[in-house]
Structure 1
Amino acid sequence: MDISIVSATLYSVALVPIALSVAFALLLLKTFTGKSLRSSKYPPVRGTVFVQLIYFNQLYDYLTGVVRQSPTFRLLAPDQSEIYTADPRNVEHVLKTNFDRYTKGKFNIEIMKDLFGEGIFVVDGEKWKKQRKVASFEFATRVLRDFSCSVFRKNAAKLVKVVDELSAASEGFDMQDILMRCTLDSIFKVGFGVELNCLQGSSKEGRAFMKAFDEANALTYWRYIDPSWELKRLLNIGSEARLRNNVKLIDNFVHQLIRTKRNQLAAQRERNDKEDILSRFLLECEKDPENMNEKYLRDIILNFMIAGKDTSANTLSWFLYMLCKHPLVQQKIVDEIKEVIGDQASEANPDGFMERITDPVLDRMPYLHATLTETLRLYPAVPLVIFCSLDGRCTETDDVLPDGFHVKKGDNVNYLAYSMGRMHNIWGEDAEDFKPERWLKDGIFQKESPFKFVAFHAGPRICLGKDFAYRQMKIVSIALLRFFRFRLADERPVTYKVMFTLHIDNGLHLRAVPRLAT
Structure 2
Amino acid sequence: MESLLRRAKNFCKFLPFNFSFSTSITFIFIIFFSIFFVNLLVRKLHEKKKKYHPIGGTVLHQLKNFNRLHDYMTDLAEKYKTYRLIGLFRSEVYTSDPANVEYMLKSNFENYGKGEYNYSNLKDLLGDGIFTVDGDKWREQRKVSSYEFSTRVLRDFSSVVFRKNVVKLSNLVSESVISNQPMDIQDLFMKSTLDSIFKVAFGVDLDSMCGSNEEGAIFSKAFDDASAFTLYRYVDILWKMKKALGIGLEAKLKRSVKVIDEFVYKLISNKTELMRKSQDDPSLKKEDILSRFLQFTETDPKYLRDIILNFIIAGKDTTATTLSWFIYMLCKHPHVQEKVAQEIKEATDSEEVENISEFAATVSEEALEKMHYLHAALTETLRLYPAVPVDAKICLSEDTMPDGFSIKKGDMVCYQPYAMGRMRFIWGDDAQDFKPERWLDENGCFRSESPFKFTAFQAGPRICLGKEFAYRQMKIFSSVLLRCFIFRLSDEKRVVKYRTMINLHIDGGLSVRAFHRLDKSTNINKLNT
TM-score, L = length of structure 1: 0.89
**What residue is the counterpart of 2:499 in the other structure?**
497
CA distance in 2, matches of 1:234, 1:42: 35
Whether contact under 8 Å (1:285, 1:293) holds in the other structure is: no
Q: Residues of 2 paired with 1:59 and 1:38: CA distance?
A: 32
Question: Is 1:409 the equivalent of 2:419?
Answer: no
Question: 1:101-500 residue pairs with structure 2 within 5 A?
Answer: 101-270=111-280, 271=282, 274-286=286-298, 292-345=299-352, 347-386=353-392, 388-391=393-396, 394=397, 398-441=398-441, 442-490=443-491, 491-500=493-502
CA-CA distance at 1:390 after TM superposition:
2.2
Using the alignment, how far apart are the partners of 1:315 and 1:339 within structure 2? 24
Aligned to 2:12: none
Write the letter of the residue equivalent to 2:411. D
1:326 counterpart letter in structure 2? H
Tell me the CA shift for residue 343 of structure 1: 3.7
Q: Are 2:286 and 2:292, in contact at CA under 8 Å, matched by a contact in 1? A: yes
Query: CA offsets per residue over residues 100-120 of structure 1, 9 Å max, x none?
Result: 111101111001100010000
Q: How many residues align?
A: 472
Q: What is the distance in 1 between the residues matched to 2:50 and 2:116? A: 28
Name the amino acid aligned to 2:367.
V
Matches of 1:280 and 1:404 in 2, distance apart? Answer: 47
Would you say the 8 A contact 1:37–1:45 is kept in 2?
no
Structure 2 residue aligned with 1:515, among 492, 496, 517? 517
Q: Quick check: 2:50–2:406 contact (8 Å CA) kept in 1?
A: no
The Cα offsets for residues 421-444 of structure 1, whole Å up to 9 and x where unpaired, read as: 000010011000000000001211
Shift of 1:228: 1.1
The SS at the match of 1:65 is helix
Do residues 97 (structure 1) and 110 (structure 2) align? Answer: no
**What is the deviation of 1:202?**
0.8
* Aligned-partner SS, 2:514: strand
Q: 1:323 to 1:37 in 2, by over 3 A?
A: farther
Contact 2:165 2:196 (8 Å CA) reproduced: yes
SS of equivalent to 1:275 = coil
CA displacement, residues 303-348 of structure 1 (integer Å, 9 cap, x when unaligned): 0111010000000000000000000000000110111112432x32
CA distance in 2, matches of 1:266, 1:253: 20
Q: For structure 2, list consecutive stretches of 5 or more residues without a partner in the other structure.
A: 1-43, 525-529
After TM superposition, give the deviation of residue 285 of structure 1 in Å: 3.8
Residue 316 of structure 2 aligns to a residue whose secondary structure is helix
Contact 1:324 1:486 in 2 (8 A): yes
Tell me the SS of whatever aligns to 1:403. Answer: coil
Cα distance in 2 for residues equivalent to 1:235 and 1:215: 20
User: 1:94 is paired with a residue of what secondary structure?
Assistant: helix
Letter in 2 for 1:363: E
8 Å CA contact retained: 1:366, 1:444? yes
* Cα RMSD for the two superposed structures: 1.5
State the distance in 2 between where 1:232 and 1:167 align: 47
How far the C-alpha of 1:39 sits from its partner, in A, is 7.1
Q: Equivalent pairs: percent with the same residue?
A: 56
Distance in 2 (CA, whole Å) between partners of 1:118 and 1:37 is: 37
Q: CA deviation at 1:38?
A: 8.4
Distance 1:492 1:390 in 2: 41
Structure 1 residue 507, shift from structure 2 partner = 0.2
Report the secondary structure of 1:422's partner residue: coil
C-alpha distance in 1 between matches for 2:217 and 2:327: 23
